Structure 1
Amino acid sequence: MEIKDKIFTELMAALSLMMDLDENRKLYHAWRVGVLAEKMARKVVPECASQIFYAGLLHDIGAISLPDHVVHYTDPEDHLRYPVIFNHPHKGAQIVGEIEPLKGVAAMILDHHEHWDGSGYPRGIRGNRISLGGQILRICDTFDVLSRVKPPLDIGGMKTLLAARRGSEFSDQIFELMIAVLEEGNFFYEIMDDQKVGEMVVKTVESMPHPQTGYCERGISKIIQVFGRVIDAKHEYTAGHSSRVAFYTSLIAQNLGLAGSEVKKLEFAAYLHDAGKVAIPPAILDKPGRLTLEEFKVMKRHPVYTMEILSMVSALKELAPISGHHHEKYDGSGYPDGLSRDVIPLGARIMAVADAFDAMTSARPYQKMKDGWEAKEELVKRAGSQFDPEVVKVAVRALPDHPQSVESGRVISGETSDSDNMFVGR
């Protein structure tokens, strides 16, 4: 596998893992669907197996703004009742279509909730008007939802439940293909095991034939921007946050005299700094008042998840401690590791200021929005305790006086720090 293709596939796997974080646990929904779909595709359209794998990893990307993960909405009426669910195939296809190597995947994602008999959504198409990739994703998606029933199903029980949907949700041929895959060796019991699924994703990434992705820095930058938009879409008030934090981080880094390559690295890190926040329940993130001790413990886990997600991508591993330590405080009272002063990576110290500035100058449910001057005064007040004084000195000159005029999509955006859980962001 060429390095450029490995980076691309690792990014897709990391993005799907982030989407499957659910209140401090991993659901492995996208990974299970991706592995199963790729194995099915290899039997009938091996030349499309890698594209169908990507489609499986990203099929629910359009549903990221739901309060709970889409797998929890098991009532078919919910899928028709809630616009976010009904429209998520359209939204997902739109997002994935922006990633050049995945333009062909968009149609599969658009079709993954269509039913063979025409009773699905969003277009209500039927039969072979549904793309083959969409048909495969449909049965794999259903398999994963059924795999979560209690007590767990054995292979006989799974076959019975799937058989009840043949001819309506999916065709006889797709059903038979699924059963053939499940009956190969121990595959059924391995795909039901979360740990084994993780191992299978790694093997799939390493072994499958990869399309030429045309990887370059501009291409990876586009994917990382999509990453940031998906992160921000989880909560209404964070719209544009990652792109603004990236912009502010870049401004401060440039004015500190960092080399262009280092500035670009910090920009990437800032786009991804909140990846782990997807796992935090909305009731905590959106709480207007002070967090309880237990709630704050949950909040402090999100940088750890961010580092885990970034560590999956070989080309981004060095960014993990930068993104993951932007809640550390200069005096050592931050989280997740209580680092202080120069032990905190310089990029994280810069990002902490950029993140706090954006949080203070944006509408948040837990604090009053400040103008640029007020936010800079707060940075100066907390220099030496929360923030690196040298970074603050540069930041108050470099950051805009009217941040509300900054376009959301320019470079990066960020959240905020918070040790007593009620200061300058969360």
Structure 2
Amino acid sequence: MLNKTNQTVFSELIAALSLMMDLDENNKLYHAWRVAAMAAKMAERFLPEEKRNIFYAGLLHDIGGIALSDHIIHYRDLEEQFKNPIIKAHPQKGAYIIRQIPSLAKSSEMVMDHHEMWDGSGYPQNKKGSEISVGGQILRIADTFDLVSRDLKKPTISEVSSILRNKIGSEFSREIYFMWKKTVYEEGFFNMIRRNDTLPQLVNSIIETLPETEVEIGSDVFETIVKVFAEVVDAKHTYTAGHSRRVAEYSSKIAEAVGLSEGQVKAIKYAGYLHDAGKVAIPRRILDKKQRLSENEFELIKKHPVYTMEILSLISQFNSLITIAGYHHERYDGLGYPNGLRGDRIPLGARIMAIADAYDAMTSLRPYQEIRSPDEAKEVLLKNAGSQFDPKLVEPACDVL
């Protein structure tokens, strides 16, 4: 039997990953949380043994579409979805990513089916009727429920119900529709799930009632999930494939070189995987821009560490990582961001990560600069010791990079 702490931490990790995917410039869309809450409540009434799997599938159902220029909810037209290879493949890509997380194999199967339609007009496998998993069918109506509600200025339960009723026989079965209707008409549920200020409370209440997960939540599971975080972040745009993994590795090497404990090294490594989580909120047109950024664009870029800290704050087990990951753009001379911290006021882990992040940026393909050799990058690090970087860390870093 697992204790409640392990179950809660596992759920917090998945919920934080889900929220990261739903950052859209300055907005939290809460699409995945809303789909997950709707689907879990349906499962609670009609398929209780699958509640846990359906809830996690809802949180992660669009993870395969992270490489799109804009959030996937902006692509509504079915014909357009079929023409876009990223969208058409996102159920399969999402299922592949989710299978990497221990104990979520059933959730991955549901994600594979969440764009299949009852009449066979969906994708990626053109399944029809009962060929579609029940979990996939529940996700489909929960997904549509959120999108339909967004299209109405002041959605009412009767309006949404009427629109979904017209999709019986095409998008979903009559049985699934009435499962949804009986759930959404529970007293107070519609208002709670529609409001952004009450939705987190609803999600937390679902987490508290989930059956225990099937795996021990050890360090290997944590590392697996943070690696998935990193994979999703780095898929956001063309130039950062493997960046988070490399920053994690470089940071841990530097941490070892300066004599930090095994626990400190591991914390810095995890923070390296997660340090750019907030970049998912930055549009690709800015992240991939070859020209100099405008003042407004740079101001938006400077917000990504704040978003990172907000995402990590959802994970109680990772409180110690928040400032390490969130302050890696602070400079030793106080001219960095987001808070303009100076010298030793910057957490040691963040000072280490600043070096690792800069080194990888210089030695990797980026749209705004030429690739430097490792030796050239180290020269830049040494040149900026005492201004951008902690002078006590640069030399040992250069010895191991």
Q: TM-score range by the shorter chain?
A: over 0.9
Q: Give the CA deviation at 1:382.
A: 0.9
Q: Which amino acid aligns with 2:345?
A: V
Q: How many Å separate the matches in 2 of 1:213 and 1:48?
A: 16
Q: Trace 1:55-70 onto structure 2 (pairs within 5 A).
A: 55-70=57-72
2:349 equivalent to 1:344: no
Deviations 1:317-343 (A, max 9, x none): 110000000000000010001101000
Deviations 1:268-318 (A, max 9, x none): 000000000000111211111221211111111100010011111111011
Q: How many Å separate the matches in 2 of 1:24 and 1:205?
A: 26
Give 2:235's aligned residue.
Answer: 233
Residues 19 and 28, structure 2, Cα contact 8 Å, conserved in 1: yes
Partner residue of 2:331 out of 314, 329, 332: 329
Q: How many Å separate the matches in 1 of 2:152 and 2:176?
A: 26
Q: Give the CA deviation at 1:204.
A: 1.3
Give 2:183's aligned residue.
Answer: 181
Q: Which amino acid aligns with 2:73?
A: V
TM-score with structure 1 length normalisation? 0.92
- Greater alpha carbon shift after TM alignment, 291-300 vs 326-335: 291-300
Q: Which amino acid aligns with 2:82?
A: L
Q: How many Å separate the matches in 2 of 1:30 and 1:365?
A: 31
Q: Which amino acid aligns with 2:29?
A: L
Identity of aligned residues (%): 53
Q: How many Å separate the matches in 2 of 1:212 and 1:343?
A: 42
Give 2:398's aligned residue.
Answer: 396
- Greater alpha carbon shift after TM alignment, 253-262 vs 324-333: 253-262
Give 2:290's aligned residue.
Answer: 288
Q: Give the CA deviation at 1:210.
A: 2.7
Give 1:413's aligned residue.
Answer: none
- Greater alpha carbon shift after TM alignment, 143-152 vs 119-128: 143-152
Q: How many Å separate the matches in 1 of 2:213 and 2:251?
A: 34
Partner residue of 2:272 out of 248, 270, 273: 270
Residues 42 and 49, structure 1, Cα contact 8 Å, conserved in 2: yes
Q: Give the CA deviation at 1:368.
A: 1.1
Q: Give the CA deviation at 1:241.
A: 0.3
Q: Secondary structure at the match of 1:194?
A: coil
Q: Secondary structure at the match of 2:387?
A: coil
Q: Give the CA deviation at 1:65.
A: 0.4
Q: Give the CA deviation at 1:208.
A: 2.5
Q: Secondary structure at the match of 2:23?
A: coil
Equivalent pairs, count: 399
Q: How many Å separate the matches in 1 of 2:247 and 2:302?
A: 19
Residues 238 and 288, structure 2, Cα contact 8 Å, conserved in 1: no
Q: How many Å separate the matches in 2 of 1:212 and 1:313?
A: 20
Give 2:74's aligned residue.
Answer: 72
Q: Secondary structure at the match of 2:208?
A: helix
Residues 5 and 213, structure 1, Cα contact 8 Å, conserved in 2: no
Q: Give the CA deviation at 1:47.
A: 1.2
Q: Which amino acid aligns with 1:301?
A: K
Q: Secondary structure at the match of 1:147?
A: helix
Partner residue of 2:204 out of 193, 199, 202: 202
Q: Trace 1:144-223 onto structure 2 (pairs within 5 A).
A: 144-223=146-225
Residues 8 and 213, structure 1, Cα contact 8 Å, conserved in 2: no
Q: Which amino acid aligns with 2:369?
A: Q
Q: Give the CA deviation at 1:6.
A: 1.1
Q: Give the CA deviation at 1:152.
A: 2.8
Residues 328 and 336, structure 1, Cα contact 8 Å, conserved in 2: yes
Residues 269 and 319, structure 1, Cα contact 8 Å, conserved in 2: yes
Deviations 1:362-391 (A, max 9, x none): 010011110101100111111111100111
Q: How many Å separate the matches in 2 of 1:289 and 1:341?
A: 31
Residues 5 and 212, structure 1, Cα contact 8 Å, conserved in 2: no
Q: How many Å separate the matches in 2 of 1:249 and 1:367?
A: 22
Q: How many Å separate the matches in 2 of 1:241 and 1:208?
A: 34
Give 2:133's aligned residue.
Answer: 131
Give 1:21's aligned residue.
Answer: 23
Q: Which amino acid aligns with 1:188?
A: F
Give 2:143's aligned residue.
Answer: 141
Q: How many Å separate the matches in 1 of 2:338 and 2:152?
A: 35
Residues 4 and 213, structure 1, Cα contact 8 Å, conserved in 2: no
Q: How many Å separate the matches in 1 of 2:216 and 2:91?
A: 26
Deviations 1:120-157 (A, max 9, x none): 10000111111110000000001111111142321111
Q: Secondary structure at the match of 2:371?
A: coil
Residues 267 and 320, structure 2, Cα contact 8 Å, conserved in 1: no
TM-score with structure 2 length normalisation? 0.98
Give 1:99's aligned residue.
Answer: 101
2:281 equivalent to 1:309: no
- Greater alpha carbon shift after TM alignment, 194-203 vs 52-61: 194-203
Q: How many Å separate the matches in 2 of 1:318 and 1:204?
A: 26
- Greater alpha carbon shift after TM alignment, 328-337 vs 284-293: 284-293
Q: Give the CA deviation at 1:182.
A: 1.3
Q: How many Å separate the matches in 2 of 1:288 and 1:368?
A: 11
Q: Which amino acid aligns with 2:133?
A: S
Residues 279 and 302, structure 1, Cα contact 8 Å, conserved in 2: yes
Partner residue of 2:45 out of 40, 43, 46: 43
Q: Trace 1:243-262 onto structure 2 (pairs within 5 A).
A: 243-262=245-264
Q: How many Å separate the matches in 2 of 1:6 and 1:213?
A: 13
Q: Give the CA deviation at 1:45.
A: 1.0
Q: How many Å separate the matches in 2 of 1:270 and 1:2?
A: 27
Residues 334 and 343, structure 2, Cα contact 8 Å, conserved in 1: yes
Q: Which amino acid aligns with 2:294?
A: T
Q: How many Å separate the matches in 1 of 2:340 and 2:21?
A: 27
Q: How many Å separate the matches in 2 of 1:321 and 1:334?
A: 14
Q: Which amino acid aligns with 1:62?
A: G
Could you list the structure 1 runs, at least 4 aligned residues long, displaced by more than 4 angstroms after superposition: none
Q: How many Å separate the matches in 2 of 1:323 and 1:215?
A: 22
Q: Secondary structure at the match of 1:143?
A: helix
Which residues of structure 1 form unaligned runs of 5+?
Answer: 400-426
Q: How many Å separate the matches in 1 of 2:376 and 2:203?
A: 48
